[in-house]
C-alpha cells in the first residue's frame, strides 16, 4: 500500500550552492507525525522543493536525487509562486480564514494561478499513483486538488487536513470562488480540522453554498460517503520533554539563565504575521508595566519574531509598528541594568528555543486567530519540575484542549495585563497542578496519534464506501435479480413514493408523478404476475388523485390506510388532535421560516425542506424535545424522516402493511424499494430472500443500494423489459457455461 502525502512544500529544501544543490531536511511537526505512521505503508511525498528553476538539467538533477528518498518535486515558475502562493494562498485565503477580511486581496491572476498549480499537482500525482493508492492532501494551498484527483481516478482514496482556521459561513461566503473551493474539498473521502468549530463552519458553508445534506458528520456525494471530523494536531512530546537531558541543551539553558539573570522571564515566540496578535501583546505588556511599577526591573519579555514575508506591504508595516512599540516600551521603562523587552528578529536553533521554553516563567501565546498553535504545546512539553504558566488566547485552536492555561481574549489588553499579573503571582503548587494536567493531555494527543487517528478514520470511511459499493446494484447482481424476476410465478413489488419514485420537492404538493413514472408503473402492472403496492407516508387522498387510475394497491400514511382491488380500507380511526399538540406544531411553523404543517387524517407532518439547513436541524431537535412528553401521554409516535417530523399512531407502520400482505398471499419474488429510515420497517418485515433496495445511503436493513433517486426508474425499466432480461440471462448463462468448460479443461489437462 502506498501513501502519498501532498503538501505545498516537500520536507526538504533545495538550495543552490556553486554547481550543485544542497538539501536541508525539515523536522517540523507534520514531517515527524507522518514519518511515525505505523503500518504497511510505502510513504511518498509530493511538493515544491523550495526553489524555482527553468533549467531542465537542474530539474532532472533535483528529481533524480529526491526520488531516491521517495520525494517527488513539483516545479513552479517565479510567476506561479508569486500568484499561487503569495497571491491566492496567502493574500486571499490566509487573511480570510484568519478573519482579517480587510487584508484580503482578490485578483483574477491569483485565482487562475491557484487553479493552474493545483492542476499541476494533480497531473504529477496521477503519473505516480495507482488507482487504489492513498493520497493525503495537506492544507489550504491545495483545496482544489481532491476533486481534480477524484475526476481522474474515482477509486483513489483521498484525505484532506486543513491546518488553519476555517471561517464562519458569513465570512466564507464573501469569497467569490466559494463554491469551487468547497467542491474541491468534497472530492476527498475524509476531511479533518483541528477543532469542532472549524468542522462546523465547513459543514455550514457546504450546506448553504452547495445545498449539501449532512447527517451529523457525513454527506453523500454520488455513490460515496464523505466524512468530516475534528482531530487536534499535537507535537512530538517525548522529543521536547526529554530535551533538557541533552548536554548541548543544558549548556544552552545555562547560557540563557545568565542572559536574563534573576528576572522573571515572559516568552513570546511567533512568526511575523498579523494573525499572531504581536502588537496587542505588546500593548498588554506596556499596560502591565504602567500599572504595576513594583515589577519594574524584575520582569523581562523575550520577544522572538521569526521573519516572514516582510517584503510584503502589510507585513513590512506590521514590523515597523512592532519595532516602534518595542522602542517605545524600552525607551520609557529601561534602566541601566534592565531592558523590559529583549527583541530578537530571527529564528533560533531547536536547542536554544528549548532552553528558553525551559527557563521561561510565563509563555505569552495570544494570537488573534490560530488554527492550533504548537508553541503552546511545546512550552508545556519541555517543562519538568520547573513549572510555568501558559497564557493562551481563546482564539487559538489549542485553547480547546488546554483549559488549564490562563485563557484571554487577545483583543482585550486589560485581560492580557491581568493574566500576566496573575501568572506572576500564581502559587508554585497551582502552577505544578495546572502544568501536570496539561502535560497529561499533550503527552497523549501527540502528532503521532494525530496522524494515526486520521489514517484510521480515513480507512473506516474507505471501508464504509467499499461496503456501499458492494451493495450497489451492478451488472452482475442485476442479472441475478432479473433471473429471479423472470422465473417467478407471483411477485410482490413494494415501492416508496417520495425520494424513491420521484425526487423530493421543496413543496410536497409539487412531487406529482412524471409521464416516465406513470409509463413504468403501467408496464409493471401490465404483467398479471405482479402485485404492485405504493407503500408511502403520503396521505391517501393525494395518492388516489395522482395514481388512482392505475391498477395498483396502496398503503398510505405509513399503513394507516390501504387500497386493494380498487377499494380503500382504514386501519385506524381519524385522529382528533389535541389543541396542545397543534399549538406546539404551529409555534414551530411560525418561528421557522419556510416550514409548514401538513394535517393528514391519521398523522401530522412538520416539513422543513425549504428551511435553512442549520436552523432546520435545530428546530427539528427542539420540536422533538417539545413533543416527547405530550406524545407519551397521548400514545403517539414521533417519526423523524427526510426533512420532516411526523406524529402518528404507533399501531401501524410500513412494516405492518408488509406483514398483512405476506399473510394474505404467498410470493416467490419480492422487491422493496425505499429511501428513508421509515422504509427500514418495510425491509425488516420481509424475508431475507427479498430484493430490498435502499435509495441514497446504504442501509444495513437492505441488501442492495442505488446511490441516487434517478437510478430508480431505469432499474425498474430494465426489470420489466423482457428483451433486456432475456439477453442478460443468455449472456449470463453463456458466461457460466464458458467458465464450467474452462474448469473441466483444467482438470483434464492436469
Side-chain half-sphere of 694: how many Cα atoms within 13 Å? 24
Cα distance between residue 317 and residue 27, in whole Å: 31
**Pairing mode, strands 596-599 and 603-607:** antiparallel
* Angle, in degrees to the nearest 10, between helices 313-333 and 278-291: 10
445: three-class secondary structure by DSSP: coil
The question of whether 385 is a catalytic residue gets the answer no
Count of all residues that appear for the chain in the document: 750
CA 473 – CA 172 distance, rounded (Å):
39
Task: Identify the sign of the CA torsion 671, 708, 222, 208.
Answer: negative
Strands of the sheet with 42-48, listed across from one edge: 71-73, 42-48, 2-9, 134-138, 157-162, 190-193, 224-230, 218-221, 214-215
- Report residue 343: phi and psi, to 5°: -105, 125
Cβ atoms within 10 Å of 743's Cβ, excluding its own: 10
Write the burial class of residue 55 (CB in 10 Å: 0-12 exposed, 13-18 middle, 19+ buried).
exposed
DSSP 513: P
For residue 669, give the C-alpha cell. Answer: 419474488
Catalytic one among 496, 498, 539, 675? 496
Which residues on neighbouring strands pair with residue 695, listed in sequence order? 706
Q: Mind spelling out the 3-state secondary structure of 522-565? A: HHHHHCCCEEEEEECCCCHHHHHHHHCCCCCEEEECCCCEEEEC
Element (H, E) at 603: strand 603-607
The set of cell numbers assigned to 343 is 527583541
DSSP per-residue string spanning 16-76:
EETTEEEEEE---HHHHHHHT--SS-EEEEEEE-S-----HHHHHHHHHHHHTTTEEE---
Cβ pair 588, 622 in contact under 8 A: yes
Cα 18 to its chain centre, rounded Å, is 46
Mapping DSSP onto H, E and C, the string for 369-399 reads CECCCHHHHHHHHHCCCCCCEEEEECCEHHH
Q: What are the C-alpha distances in Å from 160 to residues 96, 106, 134, 368, 410?
A: 19, 25, 11, 25, 30
What is the DSSP code (8-state) at residue 168?
-
Task: Render the burial of 65-88: b for 16+ CB within 10 Å, e for the rest.
Answer: bbeeeebbbbbbeeebbebbbbbb
Helix (H) or strand (E) holding 463: helix 447-471
Q: Cβ(508)–Cβ(642) under 8 Å? A: no
Task: Spell out the long-range contacts of 313-317 with Cβ–Cβ below 8 A and sequence spacing 24 or more.
Answer: 314/103, 314/274, 315/272, 315/273, 315/274
451 Rama sector, left if φ>0, alpha if ψ -120 to 50, beta otherwise = alpha
Nearest to 537 by CA among 697, 678, 673: 678
Cα–Cα distance for residue pair 271/346, rounded to 1 Å: 9
Rounded CA separation 336/233 (Å): 44
C-alpha cell at 293: 511599577
Catalytic residues: 496
Amino acid at each position: 500500500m502506498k501513501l502519498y502525502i501532498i503538501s505545498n512544500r516537500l520536507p526538504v529544501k533545495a538550495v543552490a550552492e556553486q554547481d550543485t544543490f544542497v538539501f536541508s531536511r525539515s523536522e517540523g511537526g507534520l514531517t515527524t507525525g507522518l514519518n511515525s505512521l505505523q503500518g504497511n505503508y510505502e510513504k511518498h511525498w509530493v511538493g515544491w522543493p523550495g526553489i524555482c528553476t527553468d533549467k531542465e538539467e537542474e530539474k532532472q538533477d533535483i528529481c533524480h536525487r529526491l526520488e531516491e528518498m521517495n520525494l517527488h518535486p513539483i516545479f513552479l515558475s517565479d510567476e506561479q509562486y508569486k500568484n499561487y502562493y503569495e497571491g491566492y494562498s496567502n493574500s486571499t485565503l490566509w487573511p480570510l480564514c484568519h478573519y482579517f477580511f480587510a487584508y484580503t486581496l482578490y485578483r483574477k491572476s491569483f485565482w487562475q494561478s491557484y487553479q493552474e498549480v493545483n492542476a499541476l499537482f494533480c497531473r504529477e500525482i496521477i503519473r505516480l499513483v495507482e488507482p487504489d493508492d492513498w493520497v493525503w492532501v495537506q492544507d489550504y494551498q491545495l483545496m482544489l486538488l481532491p476533486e481534480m484527483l477524484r475526476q481522474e481516478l474515482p477509486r483513489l482514496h483521498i484525505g484532506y487536513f486543513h491546518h488553519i482556521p476555517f471561517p464562519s459561513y458569513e465570512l466564507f461566503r464573501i469569497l467569490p470562488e466559494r463554491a469551487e473551493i468547497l467542491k474541491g474539498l468534497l472530492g476527498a473521502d475524509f476531511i479533518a480540522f483541528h477543532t469542532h468549530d472549524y468542522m462546523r463552519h465547513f459543514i455550514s458553508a457546504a450546506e448553504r453554498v452547495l445545498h449539501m445534506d449532512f447527517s451529523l458528520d457525513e454527506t453523500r456525494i454520488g455513490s460515496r460517503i464523505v466524512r468530516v471530523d475534528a482531530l487536534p494536531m499535537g507535537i512530538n512530546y517525548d522529543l521536547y520533554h526529554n530535551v533538557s537531558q541533552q548536554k548541548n541543551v543544558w549548556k544552552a539553558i545555562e547560557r540563557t539563565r545568565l542572559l536574563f539573570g534573576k528576572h522573571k522571564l515572559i516568552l513570546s515566540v511567533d512568526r511575523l504575521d498579523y494573525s499572531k496578535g504581536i502588537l496587542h501583546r505588546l500593548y498588554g505588556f506596556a499596560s502591565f508595566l504602567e500599572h504595576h511599577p513594583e515589577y519594574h526591573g524584575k520582569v523581562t519579555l523575550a520577544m522572538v519574531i521569526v521573519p516572514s514575508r516582510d517584503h510584503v506591504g502589510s507585513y513590512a508595516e506590521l514590523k515597523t509598528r512592532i519595532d516602534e512599540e518595542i522602542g517605545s516600551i524600552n525607551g520609557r521603562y529601561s534602566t541601566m541594568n534592565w531592558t523590559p523587552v529583549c527583541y530578537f528578529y530571527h529564528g533560533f536553533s531547536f536547542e536554544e528555543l528549548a532552553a528558553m521554553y525551559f527557563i521561561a516563567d510565563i509563555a505569552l501565546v495570544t494570537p488573534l486567530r490560530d488554527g492550533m498553535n504548537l508553541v503552546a504545546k511545546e512550552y508545556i512539553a519541555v517543562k519538568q519540575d520547573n513549572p510555568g504558566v501558559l497564557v493562551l488566547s481563546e482564539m487559538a485552536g489549542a485553547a480547546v484542549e488546554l483549559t488549564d492555561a490562563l485563557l484571554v481574549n487577545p483583543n482585550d489588553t486589560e485581560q492580557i495585563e491581568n493574566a500576566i499579573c496573575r501568572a506572576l503571582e500564581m502559587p508554585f503548587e497551582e502552577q505544578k497542578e495546572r502544568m501536570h494536567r496539561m502535560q497529561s493531555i499533550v503527552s497523549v494527543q501527540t502528532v503521532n496519534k494525530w496522524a494515526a487517528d486520521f489514517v484510521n478514520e480515513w480507512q473506516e470511511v474507505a471501508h464504509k464506501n467499499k461496503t456501499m459499493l458492494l451493495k450497489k446494484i451492478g451488472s452482475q447482481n442485476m442479472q441475478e435479480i432479473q433471473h429471479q424476476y423472470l422465473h417467478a410465478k407471483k411477485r410482490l413489488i413494494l415501492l416508496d413514493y417520495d425520494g424513491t419514485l420521484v425526487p423530493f420537492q421543496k413543496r410536497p404538493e409539487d412531487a406529482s408523478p412524471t409521464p416516465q413514472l406513470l409509463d413504468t408503473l403501467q408496464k409493471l402492472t401490465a404483467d398479471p404476475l405482479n402485485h404492485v403496492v405504493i407503500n408511502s407516508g403520503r396521505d391517501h387522498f393525494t395518492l388516489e388523485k395522482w395514481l388512482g387510475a392505475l391498477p395498483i394497491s396502496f398503503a398510505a400514511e405509513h399503513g394507516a390506510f390501504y387500497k386493494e382491488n380498487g377499494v380503500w380500507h382504514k386501519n385506524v380511526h381519524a385522529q382528533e388532535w389535541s389543541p396542545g399538540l397543534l399549538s406546539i406544531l404551529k409555534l414551530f411553523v411560525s418561528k421557522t421560516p419556510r416550514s409548514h404543517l401538513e394535517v393528514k387524517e391519521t398523522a401530522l407532518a412538520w416539513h422543513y425542506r425549504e428551511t435553512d439547513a442549520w436552523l432546520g436541524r435545530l428546530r427539528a431537535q427542539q420540536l422533538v424535545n417539545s413533543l416527547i412528553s405530550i406524545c407519551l401521554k397521548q400514545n403517539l409516535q414521533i417519526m423523524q424522516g427526510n426533512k420532516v417530523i411526523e406524529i402518528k399512531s404507533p399501531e401501524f407502520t410500513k412494516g405492518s402493511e408488509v406483514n398483512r400482505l405476506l399473510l394474505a398471499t404467498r410470493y416467490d419474488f419480492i422487491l422493496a424499494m425505499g429511501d428513508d429510515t421509515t422504509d427500514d420497517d418495510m425491509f425488516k418485515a420481509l424475508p431475507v430472500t427479498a430484493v430490498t433496495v435502499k435509495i441514497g445511503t446504504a442501509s444495513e436493513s437492505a441488501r442492495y443500494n442505488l446511490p441516487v433517486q434517478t437510478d430508480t426508474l431505469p432499474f425498474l425499466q430494465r426489470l420489466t423489459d423482457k428483451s433486456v432480461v432475456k439477453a442478460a440471462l443468455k449472456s449470463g448463462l453463456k458466461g457460466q457455461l464458458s467458465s464450467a468448460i474452462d474448469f473441466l479443461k483444467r482438470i483434464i489437462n492436469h
